[in-house]
Amino acid sequence: MPEDGSDSLKEYRLRKVLQAIAGKRGRGTELISLYIPSGRQISEAMSALREEYGKASNIKSRTTRKNVQDAISKVQQRLKLIERTPENGVVIFCGAIPRGPPGSEVIETYVVTPPKPITISYYSCDDKFYVEPLMEMIREKQTIGIIVIDNTEATLAVVTGKSVDIKGDVTSGVGGKTRKGGQSARRYERIREMELNDYYKRVASHADDVFLQEKGLTGIILAGPGQTKEQFRDGNYLNYQLQSKIIATVDTAYTGNQGVKEAMEKASEKLQDLAIMKEKKLVQDFLKEIGTDSGLAIYGERDVREALKRGNAKTVLISEAVDVYPVKITCKSCGYAEDRSLSEQELFTLEYTISNQSCPKCNANALAIEEQKSLIDEFNELANDTGAKLEVISDKTEEGLMLYKSFGGVVAILRHA
């Protein structure tokens, strides 16, 4: 899988691959899923596979036995190419997938680098691949920091999807609003302010310790009852790197762990909104150019490809719903060539289909797939070559749907008209 491209593209690619893998079925119990977490040695996984290979010799069906053992060998071959377990671990799916009638199976292998560290060590041989842990990762990809604060205590937490990691409390030691007898009101107020200032600084320092080392922190939510969180925010106590990550300030009824839970519920809405807002904005920018007739907005596969090739595309938006795979088919015998635009499903069976077709020019049974690529991958390569930005847009919003239905799902904003 290519690693370059915008975040929306990376996420889209992984989701797409996993969906495709999840949909595959073996003819028998013969599809292998192997999860190797970062801490596990490749050699350990290898010896476990040798054992599985031995066990497979007991499988009664000759075809299934052969398919399972072939798949295990393929996985072993792939593992030999990996010297050391990658930082996030590695997942391999491998098995014989039918393309048509019995006997049409082709062994397919997928090596997936997880976007976050996997923690399970897992092997299965089933009639389908086990993709759930990776799917879960995409769903829960955002990591956010939460600070629930009022003037008596602050609780810090790191939240990833549904898992909450409480990172300790800081107490203020600041007295209540009523002053002791004998103190002047002004003096009392000054002491209280100094104590609060000191407390905010301690909270900020703890936040530095906890959040700065969190790789991939998407944002920080400030929460709590009353005005303390706003004072803390407006006083710029946080490290500037963290301060710039504050994405929301939300009211909660409680502090402590209960407050974190409350903040989390509100935060998940905010984060979803944030992703949707970004998408909407991208489409709206395009619609604005269309509306003002600036000549800077174009749409349609052919025009966008042309603009990319000329280096004139600034931003390219492609709808997730676009299901186009340009394919080049050639005849090995006479050199005949044709371009086809296929759907994903058609592409899947193409190898099998053309093996039963003869060349329209020389009639030989020698057609082969010369080149295949998804439209998104093709456009992303062109975009990378010319410094254009490519974003994948879902069809979950009104704007996203409009992008697909009214503009065919492929549009661009140009650098100059």
3-state SS record for 199-235: HHHHHHHHHHHHHCCCCCEEEEEEEECCCHHHHHHHC
Q: What DSSP string runs through 334-397?
A: T--EEEEEE-HHHHHHHHHHHHT---TTT--S-EEEEEE--HHHHHHHHHHHHT-EEEEE-SSS
> Least distance to Zn ion from the beta carbon of 356, Å?
15
> Least distance to Zn ion from the beta carbon of 338, Å?
11
Q: Is 332 in the site for Zn ion (CB under 5 A)?
A: no
Q: Is 368 in the site for Zn ion (CB under 5 A)?
A: no
Applying CB under 5 A, the span of 132-140, 261-269, 326-334, 404-412 interacting with Zn ion comes to: 326-334
Q: Which is nearer to Zn ion, 277 or 334 (CB)?
A: 334
> Least distance to Zn ion from the beta carbon of 353, Å?
16
Q: What DSSP string runs through 285-345?
A: HHHHHHHHT-S-EEESHHHHHHHHHHT-EEEEEEETT---EEEEEEETTT--EEEEEE-HH
By the 8 A CB rule, do 341 and 408 touch? Answer: no
> Least distance to Zn ion from the beta carbon of 368, Å?
10
Count residues contacting Zn ion (CB under 5 A)? 7
Q: Which is nearer to Zn ion, 364 or 417 (CB)?
A: 364
For tokens 């030989």, name the residue.
364
CA separation for the pair 125, 52 (Å, rounded):
9
According to DSSP, residue 25 is labeled B
Q: Which is nearer to Zn ion, 368 or 417 (CB)?
A: 368
Residues 335-354 that bind Zn ion (CB under 5 A): 336
C-alpha closest to that of 128 among 196, 28, 204, 38? 28
Convert residues 169-198 into a mask of x (bound to Zn ion by CB under 5 A) and - (unbound).
------------------------------
Q: Is 359 in the site for Zn ion (CB under 5 A)?
A: yes
Q: Of the candidates 25, 281, 361, 396, which one interacts with Zn ion according to CB under 5 A?
A: 361
Q: Which is nearer to Zn ion, 91 or 359 (CB)?
A: 359
Q: Of the candidates 120, 362, 368, 417, which one interacts with Zn ion according to CB under 5 A?
A: 362
Q: Is 370 in the site for Zn ion (CB under 5 A)?
A: no
> Least distance to Zn ion from the beta carbon of 350, Å?
17
Q: Is 50 in the site for Zn ion (CB under 5 A)?
A: no
Q: Of the candidates 239, 243, 268, 333, which one interacts with Zn ion according to CB under 5 A?
A: 333
Secondary structure of residue 97 in the 3-state scheme: strand
CA separation for the pair 44, 26 (Å, rounded):
27
For tokens 């974003």, name the residue.
391
For tokens 């879960």, name the residue.
136
Judged by the rule CB under 5 A, the positions of this chain that interact with Zn ion are 331, 333-334, 336, 359, 361-362
